Amino acid sequence: MNGAEAVLRASEKASVSEFDRSTGKIVVLKVGGSVLTGVRAFRRTAIFLKHRRGFSPNEKLAVVVSAQKLATDTLERRARGILRNPSVRALDLLWSTAELRSVALLTLHLEALKVSSVGLNVQETGLRFSADHDGRPALMGHYLESVLSKHDVVVVPGFLATRPDGAIASVGRGGSDLSAVLLAIGLQASRCELVKDVPGYFEEDPRENARARHIPSLTFDDALRMAHSGCELVQTRALRTAAEVNLPLVIRSMDEKTPFSVVSGLSKHDSGRIYSEHVGTRA
């Protein structure tokens, strides 16, 4: 067993209710805009997901996608070029076009690779604010779960939910991490994986220091402290929400040969002992 596998290989004696959050094999996997950098990136992502399915055939993947890199900022500039202070509703609607484009493109690439997949729109996904919401939507209904029972991969838009009147609403800038966590909670997924342009956490920025030490496991408190120090690799709201229910987060890149980081409520020592599931790494 290699080091990466050891981080997620659990003791068979671990409590199912505490560590195996679901009797099913649903994993929520979010692909960020920093990864979706262009047309070729969508095909690379589809190939990654196909390999992942082949390596972990018992898992069903709910894949949350962000808008292509820089698309959200570009659309906001366009809106403010028309009107200095656009309405929230109109801006959210415009932003949604970028997320839905990502859903459609990735689904098409998966179909081309003959992966059993389907893309959903915002309403079908089921994240909704309540009338007296506290700024955080929740998964409503069972439609997404029923679609996952029929397909290996379901692609859904991140960053977006619906209001009680059915209007599209954003969950806040950088909110794709949060929406992925909320979907994982609603689906009782075993974990939430966040695919970034770096393979997890490092003691220093690896783009500035190639010798920066990788951190294979850390607690939610560790990750929040790093975020407050300027390393917001995972959105703070997403970390806090996952911490509330002890939903394990796996921070990784699409390179299957690189390490990854696990963020959980466990100590660093216990996180290497408890986790039982594999995240598609073949290092």
- Claim to verify: residue 219 and residue 242 sit in the same structural domain: yes
Position 107 scores a pLDDT of 98
The span from the CA of 205 to the CA of 211, in Å, is: 9
Which structural domain range is residue 122 located in?
A: 22-190
pLDDT given for residue 211 in this prediction:
85
Total count of domains within the chain: 2
Same domain? For 156 and 234 the reply is no
Q: Are 140 and 128 in contact (CB under 8 A)?
A: yes
CA torsion sign for 54, 56, 59, 63 is negative
Please say whether the beta carbons of 261 and 214 come within 8 A.
yes
pLDDT (0 to 100) of residue 230: 87
Q: Exposure string (b/e) for 145-166, b if CB count within 10 Å is 16 or more?
A: bebbeebbbbbbbbbbbbbeee
In the block, tokens 């990854």 appear at 260
Let me know whether 182 and 222 are in one domain.
no
3-state secondary structure (DSSP) of residue 130? coil
> Are both 57 and 177 inside the same structural domain?
yes
Phi, psi angles (nearest 5°) of residue 75: -70, -35
Residue 6, pLDDT above cutoff 70: no
pLDDT for res 3: 35
Tell whether the model's pLDDT for residue 65 goes beyond 70. Answer: yes
What is the rounded (10 degree) CA torsion for 159, 246, 131, 91? -10
Alpha-helical runs (H) found in 113-158: 122-125, 143-148
The pLDDT of residue 22 is above 70: no
Alpha carbons 271 and 9: distance in angstroms, whole number: 9
Domain edge (last residue) among 145, 160, 190: 190
Q: What pLDDT shows up at residue 163?
A: 93
Opening angle at CA 138, ends 136 and 141, nearest 5: 160
Average pLDDT along the chain: 85
Q: Domain end: 151, 172, 190, which one?
A: 190
pLDDT of residue 4: 35
* Statement to judge: residues 61 and 77 lie in one domain: yes
Global pTM reads 0.85
AA letter at 56:
S
The reply to whether 32 and 170 lie within a common domain is: yes
**Domain match, 254 and 282 both:** yes
Residue-wise pLDDT tens digits, 93-133: 999 999 999 999 999 999 999 999 999 999 999 999 987 65
Tell me how far apart the alpha carbons of residues 216 and 200 are, in angstroms, rounded to a whole number.
8
Indicate if 142 and 34 belong to the same structural domain.
yes
> Does 124 share its domain with 207?
no
> Which among 155, 190, 225 is the end of a domain?
190
117 and 209 inside one domain: no
For the chain, the distance separating the N- and C-terminal CA atoms, rounded to the nearest angstrom, is 10
Could you tell me what percent of the chain has a pLDDT over 70?
84
> Comparing 63 with 2, which gets the higher pLDDT?
63
Give residue-wise pLDDT tens across range 249-264: 999 999 988 899 999 9
Q: Is the pLDDT of residue 5 over 80?
A: no
- Whether residue 215 contacts residue 201, with contact meaning beta carbons closer than 8 Å, is answered with yes
Same domain, 14 and 26: no
Do 102 and 152 belong together in one domain? yes
CATH number (domain holding residue 84): 3.40.1160.10
Identify the pLDDT of residue 134: 61
pLDDT one-digit tens code per residue, 198-248: 999 999 888 788 888 999 999 999 999 999 988 889 999 999 999 999 999
